[in-house]
A and B are shown apart, each in its own frame.
Chain A
Amino acid sequence: MTNTATANAAASAAPYLSINNVEVIYDHVILVLKGVSLQVEKGSIVALLGANGAGKSTTLKSISNLLGAERGDVTKGSIEFKGQRIEKMTPNDLVKRGVIQVMEGRHCFGHLTIEENLLTGAYTRSISRSELKDSLEKVYHYFPRLKTRRSSQAGYTSGGEQQMCAIGRALMAKPEMILLDEPSMGLAPQIVEEIFEIVKDLNTKEQVSFLLAEQNTMVALRYADFGYIMENGRIVMEGVASELATNEDVKEFYLGLAGEGRKSFRDVKHYRRRKRWLS
């Protein structure tokens, strides 16, 4: 099977980012991730797909370690970035090492201008004024729209501009790996395309690797190299993005593109249970 083939390939190469059998518990009682394993190869775009509450955001937050601020804990498993264990590091350490998360819902600093938002992104870097200016110009090069809105308060810009601002702000930290959480949320389709184009551009030109969580499966698989599908705190399926996009099961249960009529709910349940055991 192609699944195992790619898994073997990933295992033989030195893993860039690898999550092994991670379990996350919120508030000491709520089990959210039930043993998630995934790999991201250097320079790739990996999509993490699944419905609401599947655990995509939690997976990203367990890597960036924003869990601590939400009373979540990695209780089992390990997370390695370039061969180093990172699950006990603070977000500050991780950003300095090149791993940064762009949070779901954009989270721009509403009362700061777009430019000030971007400048805060460079907080962890000790760089000269001219280097800072260069970084800023680079972000404006990728997001020309931000340049035109540079002196507006971020809170008053459009959703698309805020998403660009959030990604641009992360870029200011000079990351190697961006964890992008739901970039398409609440945006018009053509804005979503625009943002994914820029992500692809950053990936090829700046060699930034991406792990992106998305509900918009079709768009995500079109731009990603590899995909994982999550359900109920587990990975239930993985594969090369182009293969996942044409896979009948995926089409049926995640894209709503069933070939011959709708299947009954009982079949769906059965399918999910079987898949879970297989994983």
Chain B
Amino acid sequence: MGFFFEVLIGGLLSGVLYSLVALGFVLIYKASGVFNFAQGAMVFFAALTFVGFMEVLPGWTGLEAGSRAVFWFAFVLSLGAMVVLGVLTERVVLRPLVNQPHITLFMATIGLTFLIEGIVQAIWGSHVRGLDLGITDEPIEWILDSADIIVSKFDVFAATLAGVLVASLALFFQYTKVGRALRAVADDHQAALSIGIPLQHIWAIVWSVAGFVALVAGLIWGARSGVQFALTFTALKALPVLILGGFTSVPGAIVGGLIIGASEKLAEVYLGPFVGGGIEGWFPYVLALLFLLVRPEGLFGEKHIDRV
């Protein structure tokens, strides 16, 4: 039984990271109706920019390499870069395509994906880099002692961080003026425009927030598996999460991430041996497909409200 919980907890904790990536999709999809295929590229861009700044900042400023000051300086600069990226995307890609069919915007974000990947690698280089956040990936001792379960310190740290981020975003959406405006824009662009909400500002804010989420996700994923091109594929893991949780729901992204994380680990351990293992990679998609048949709008997805 201890082993079962170990797998379950490990799965849930990694699931929080899927939630974080999925959250980036949900934010943009809700506010601008665009399925932003470039979200994975944004995660990669953020992580690589951060690592890049970590490397060059000591040389530029004379700060001690690897110090706390360099970390926060790099964090702020990367965040700035994500905001610039978000605003530029809104200006150059979204604004000229206003009123175009969704598929056109979707194609535009696919193009954007490769553009972002190309530009960031041209600036910082494409070799794999390590990223050390100062949290080691080792079991928490008191849990190991008392319950004989291995729970990684790093996983707990990452999950807590993601949890706090998600909770604060949810509060922001629910209770602030800008949050309300974001939800209003998500519901009806035209009406939002008619009451004087400037859509461009709102979109710029959403893309910046999505950039911030991508940065946090990129740091955590990067610290675990190295900052490399493969980070862009983490975005694809968010797809089954979205299908499960619903494209328009923040809580859906969280619960979906937890379910996908836990079920893929459990499936790997308990079902894997019967089919020769290695099902972790595709099991979430099977789950998502099954789910599509039963509840196409996802667990928490908004049903289209249609009064006749």
Q: A residues within 8 Å of B by Cβ?
A: 64, 66, 69-71, 90-92, 94-96, 100-103, 107-112, 116-117, 119-121, 123-124, 153, 155-156, 159, 166, 169-170, 173
B residues in contact with A90, CB < 8 Å: 198
Contact at A155–B181, with CB atoms within 8 Å? no
Taking a contact as CB atoms closer than 8 A, the residue among A91, A103, A123 that contacts B181 in the complex is A123
Query: B88 near A: Cβ within 8 Å?
Result: no
Most chain A beta-carbon neighbours within 10 Å: one of B99, B187, B195: B195
Closest 6 CB pairs of A and B: A95-B196, A155-B305, A107-B191, A109-B187, A124-B196, A92-B198
Question: Which of chain B's residues have a CB closer than 8 A to the CB of A119?
Answer: 177, 180
Query: Cα distance A111–B301 when bound, in Å?
Result: 12
Q: Answer yes or no: B108 CB below 8 A from chain A CBs.
A: no
A-B contact pairs, 11 of them (CB 8 A): A100-B194, A107-B190, A109-B183, A112-B187, A116-B184, A117-B184, A123-B177, A123-B196, A155-B307, A156-B305, A166-B191
Complex: how many Å from CA A74 to CA B106? Answer: 31
Taken together as a complex, chains A and B put the C-alpha atoms of A121 and B305 apart, in Å, by 21
B153-186, CB under 8 A of A: which get 1 and which 0?
A: 0000000000000000000000001001101101
Contact residues, B251-268 vs A (CB, 8 A): none
Flag whether B148 is at the interface (Cβ < 8 A): no
| New A-B contacts (13) at CB < 8 Å, excluding given A110-B187, A116-B184 | A70-B99, A101-B194, A103-B190, A107-B190, A108-B191, A109-B184, A109-B192, A111-B183, A111-B305, A112-B183, A120-B181, A123-B181, A166-B191
A109 CA to B186 CA, complexed, in Å = 9
A103 near B305: Cβ-Cβ < 8 Å:
no
Q: Which residues of chain B are near A108, meaning CB under 8 Å?
A: 188, 191
> Do the beta carbons of B197 and A123 come within 8 Å of each other?
yes
Q: Are B305 and A153 in contact (CB under 8 A)?
A: yes
Does residue B123 face the partner (Cβ distance < 8 Å to A)? no
One digit per residue, 1 when the CB lies within 8 angstroms of any chain A CB and 0 when it does not, for chain B 189-210 equals 1111111111000000000000
B305 touches A169 (CB 8 A): no
Asked whether any CB of chain A lies closer than 8 Å to the CB of B103, the reply is no
Known pairs A109-B188, A156-B305; A91 contacts B194 (CB<8 A): yes
Query: Shortest CB–CB separation between residue A99 and chain B, in angstroms?
Result: 10
B122 CB within 8 Å of chain A:
no
